[in-house]
């Protein structure tokens, strides 16, 4: 075996071990959010910190530099794998090991404290933990940025190849059309009936499991559990999702599940040859969100699929308070000034994200103190949405992200919406029978198109390249905004 072959073999074996440990870390987080005893939170934080120390040491292993210098890829996939390992190594060597461990420990503790604070509406009790997390994130961002922008360094952990300034430009172009359409819809005076329950928990979970499988979720390699904040975890042969249930509102459970199924399907459909390698997962959170958002919105909230789902709802629950499929479609897409991001309509959703993006950039830059966050949130929300925030659980405590140290994650939701708009336009052009298939509850052609065009590639291509090759066009917010104009213009007669 040549020296180059030995270096590549050693590099890839090391990568496989790191990828396996990443999966173990995800299991620890999944357990923490689903079935872990509440009293185990402090111990779990130490366990996660210890494991992060091991993973971080692997990523900054000095042998990697030599292996990377000598390894010669045999094909494009191996070249991509080597590039990603090099990027991960570069980030890791700039982040001190003790800081990485403390970030992991505090993020684990923060999630537990957030759950308690959210339940008790206790911002003051949560602030000391959040202040510590923000301070650590500032330090980590500055270390990884090496003189550059700290927020950009954090963002690169979720969406490489883009800067916060570029995202701000995209949001700046989106905002006027979104606000104008939202205002015209709210001023239309059109009333939309809401569903009436109650909707039994067990029946909701049974229906959502069937719907998830309709969308291609493989239950032989996955499971659905309950959590305070729905999420997806894992890749390859073990991909788990969670949802939450409200007996007064079955749409939250249904569409949270469909959303997480989009994430899970992406991970389940990555080429098995990439399993337990740096390529064996979604390439970025923006591309990941494109899958969850297109599953949830363009497919799941579309008129055709809603017609099928209305029949399933009647079968499961009987009278649901709306008379027909058209009324159900309108109820699913009702535009309202809601407080909760995950339950918001498609028009308000991106305004939620733009607000969080601005707030977290200010936090990391030091322009906004953590102690002033609640007031800043409430002021911005009332300015953007026209209603005051009634309680912290409907305001700054509603999302898990900051308590888990996920700074730089939020903008990928709207970037995912932009990607999804491009993908859906291409999908409709490629699948002329799509509407009829969705009307019969057949998601197979749509999800197969996404699996082939996006999901199977894993991280073997760069994020923007995946979308551009899937659609045959450049990435632009135009298709998303055109889709929203057409859909809600028709629904509300504006």
pLDDT tens, 261-304?
Answer: 999 999 999 999 999 999 999 999 999 999 999 999 999 999 99
Question: 395-454 pLDDT, tens per residue?
Answer: 999 999 999 999 999 999 999 999 999 999 999 999 999 999 999 999 999 999 999 999
pLDDT at residue number 51: 97
* DSSP secondary structure code for residue 283 in this structure: S
Q: What's the structural domain count of the chain? A: 2
On whether both 226 and 104 belong to a single domain, the answer is: no
Question: 337 with 404, same domain?
Answer: yes
Specify which residues 242 forms β-bridges with. Answer: 225
Task: State the pLDDT confidence band at 228, using cuts at 50, 70 and 90.
Answer: confident
Last residue of a domain, one of 129, 155, 181: 155
End-to-end CA distance of the chain: 69
Is 183 in the same domain as 125?
A: no
Domain match, 98 and 116 both: yes
Q: What is the pLDDT of residues 343-378, one digit of tens each?
A: 899 999 999 999 999 999 999 999 999 999 999 999
User: Do 394 and 429 share a domain, yes or no?
Assistant: yes
The pLDDT tens digits of the residues spanning 22-37 come to 999 999 999 999 999 9
Tokens of 142: 């500055």
Q: Which domain does 443 fall in, by range?
A: 164-492
- Indicate whether 250 and 292 sit together in one domain: yes
Q: Residue 243 is inside which H or E element, if any?
A: strand 238-243
**Given this model, what pLDDT does residue 2 score?**
53
Query: Are 109 and 175 within one domain?
Result: no
Structure confidence at residue 318 as a pLDDT band (50, 70, 90): very high
The verdict on 336 and 463 lying in the same domain is yes
- Kindly state whether residues 70 and 174 are assigned to the same domain: no
Catalytic residue among 78, 159, 260, 374: 260
Question: Could you give the CA distance from residue 467 to residue 225 in angstroms, rounded to a whole number?
Answer: 31
- Domain match, 299 and 445 both: yes
Same domain, 139 and 287: no
Looking at the structure, tell me whether residues 270 and 387 fall in a common domain.
yes
Domain boundary among 134, 155, 176: 155
Domain C-terminal end among 136, 155, 174: 155
What tens digit of pLDDT does each residue of 66-117 get?
999 999 999 999 999 999 999 999 999 999 999 999 999 999 999 999 999 9
Model-level pTM?
Answer: 0.95
In this predicted structure, the answer to whether residue 1 has a pLDDT above a threshold of 50 is no
Question: Residue 3: what pLDDT?
Answer: 54
Q: Which residues of 452-482 are buried (b: 16+ CB within 10 A; e: fewer)?
A: ebbbbbbbbbbbbebbeebbeeebebbbbbe
Instruction: Determine the pLDDT at residue 302.
Output: 98
Catalytic annotation present for 260: yes
Residue 292: which CATH number?
A: 1.10.1370.30
């Amino acid at each position: 075996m040549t020296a180059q072959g030995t270096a590549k073999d050693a590099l890839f074996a090391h990568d496989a071990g790191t990828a396996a440990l990443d999966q173990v870390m995800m299991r620890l987080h999944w357990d923490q959010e689903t079935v872990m005893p509440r009293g185990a939170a402090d111990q779990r934080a130490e366990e996660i910190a210890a494991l992060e120390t091991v993973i971080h040491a692997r990523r900054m292993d000095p042998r990697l530099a030599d292996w990377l210098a000598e390894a010669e890829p045999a094909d494009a996939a191996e070249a991509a794998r080597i590039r990603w390992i090099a990027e991960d190594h570069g980030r890791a060597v700039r982040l001190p090991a003790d800081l990485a461990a403390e970030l992991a420990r505090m993020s684990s503790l923060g999630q537990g404290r957030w759950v308690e604070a959210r339940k008790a509406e206790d911002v003051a009790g949560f602030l000391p933990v959040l202040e510590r997390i923000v301070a650590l994130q500032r330090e980590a961002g500055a270390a990884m940025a090496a003189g550059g922008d700290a927020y950009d360094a954090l963002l690169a952990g979720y969406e490489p190849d883009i800067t916060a300034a570029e995202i701000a430009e995209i949001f700046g172009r989106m905002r006027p059309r979104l606000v104008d359409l939202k205002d015209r819809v709210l001023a239309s005076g059109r009333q939309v009936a809401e569903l009436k329950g109650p909707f039994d928990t067990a029946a909701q979970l049974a229906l959502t499991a069937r719907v998830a499988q309709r969308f291609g979720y493989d239950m032989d390699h996955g499971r659905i559990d309950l959590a305070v904040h729905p999420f997806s975890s894992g890749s390859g042969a073990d991909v788990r999702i969670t949802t939450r249930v409200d007996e007064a509102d079955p749409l939250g459970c249904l569409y949270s599940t469909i959303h997480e199924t989009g994430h899970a399907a992406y991970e389940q459909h990555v080429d098995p040859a990439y399993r337990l390698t740096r390529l064996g997962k979604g390439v970025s959170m923006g591309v990941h969100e494109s899958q969850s958002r297109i599953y949830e919105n363009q497919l799941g909230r579309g008129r055709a699929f809603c017609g099928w789902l209305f029949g399933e709802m009647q079968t499961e629950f009987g009278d649901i308070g709306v008379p027909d499929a058209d009324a159900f479609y309108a109820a699913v897409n009702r535009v309202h000034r809601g407080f909760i991001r995950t339950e918001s309509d498609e028009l308000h959703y991106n305004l939620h994200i733009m607000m969080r993006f601005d707030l977290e950039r200010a936090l990391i830059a030091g322009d906004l103190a953590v102690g002033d966050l609640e007031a800043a949130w409430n002021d911005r929300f009332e300015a953007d949405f026209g209603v005051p925030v009634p309680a912290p659980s409907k305001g700054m405590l509603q999302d898990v992200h900051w308590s888990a140290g996920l700074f730089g994650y939020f903008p990928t939701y709207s970037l995912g919406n932009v990607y999804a708009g491009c993908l859906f336009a291409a999908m409709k052009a490629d699948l002329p029978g799509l509407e009829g298939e969705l009307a019969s509850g057949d998601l197979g052609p749509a999800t197969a198109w996404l699996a082939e065009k996006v999901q199977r590639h894993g991280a073997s291509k760069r994020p923007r390249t995946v979308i551009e090759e899937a659609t045959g066009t450049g990435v632009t917010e135009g298709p998303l905004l055109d889709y929203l104009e057409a859909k809600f213009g028709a629904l509300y007669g504006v």
